[in-house]
């Protein structure tokens, strides 16, 4: 598992070069169809998703499955590494965004540890790393968190208030359809 953390560390400490690719990525018998975004179009994203899926499918990473919420000691080492990058104020914004997109793309895997990832994810929203308006990335992030259900209820009431304040302040828009969409996120 240390090799995976080492690869992640090398990748995440370098600046991301975003480029656009026309075709979906094909690898063997698996075709990944990702939403169109700069982060999903990055050459490494499909490979990281494939590695995460491979580790889970082949029981290299055992996902938490207890009735209780997992504790920090239940978190696999590579997930701990990603979580620490999200929490570190000196981590560059583009790296945090890339990690968030990886979490969104593999929400079923990270959902087992939703209680441990929800606070750093919401802090990225409040800190403005994802943007100062409601955008597709923020919407995807909230859909992911909501899909985790009760596993992702933050205990920090101040953070919940700050997220709510952010959503309310960003929901008005000059276009009525966008305002309605933004309000639906708050509901």
pLDDT interval class at 40 (50, 70, 90): confident
Contact 136, 36 (CB under 8 A): no
What percent of the chain is modeled with pLDDT above 90?
Answer: 50
pLDDT of residue 173: 83
Token look-up 């933050």 returns 154
Q: Are 158 and 123 in contact (CB under 8 A)?
A: no
* Whole-number Å distance between alpha carbons of 187 and 75: 31
Quote the number of domains for the chain. 1
- 7: containing domain: 2-186
Whether the predicted pLDDT of 18 surpasses 70? no
Burial class (CB in 10 A: 0-12, 13-18, 19+), 145: buried
What pTM does this model have? Answer: 0.79
- Decide: 43 and 21 in contact? Cβ < 8 Å: yes
């Amino acid at each position: 598992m240390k090799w995976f953390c080492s690869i992640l560390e090398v990748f995440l400490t370098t600046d991301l070069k975003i480029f656009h690719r026309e075709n979906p990525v094909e690898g063997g018998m698996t075709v990944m169809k990702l939403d169109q975004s700069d982060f999903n179009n990055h050459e490494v994203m499909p490979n990281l998703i494939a590695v995460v899926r491979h580790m889970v499918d082949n029981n290299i990473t055992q996902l938490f499955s207890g009735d209780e919420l997992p504790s920090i000691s239940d978190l696999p080492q590579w997930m701990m590494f990603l979580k620490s990058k999200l929490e570190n104020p000196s981590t560059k914004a583009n790296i945090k965004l890339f990690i968030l997109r990886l979490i969104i793309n593999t929400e079923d895997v990270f959902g087992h540890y939703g209680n441990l990832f929800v606070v750093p994810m919401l802090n990225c929203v409040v800190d403005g790393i994802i943007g100062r308006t409601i955008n597709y990335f923020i919407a995807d992030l909230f859909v992911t968190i909501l899909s985790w259900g009760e596993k992702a209820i933050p205990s920090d009431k101040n953070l919940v208030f700050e997220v709510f304040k952010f959503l309310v302040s960003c929901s008005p828009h000059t276009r009525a359809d966008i305002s309605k969409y933004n309000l639906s996120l708050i509901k």
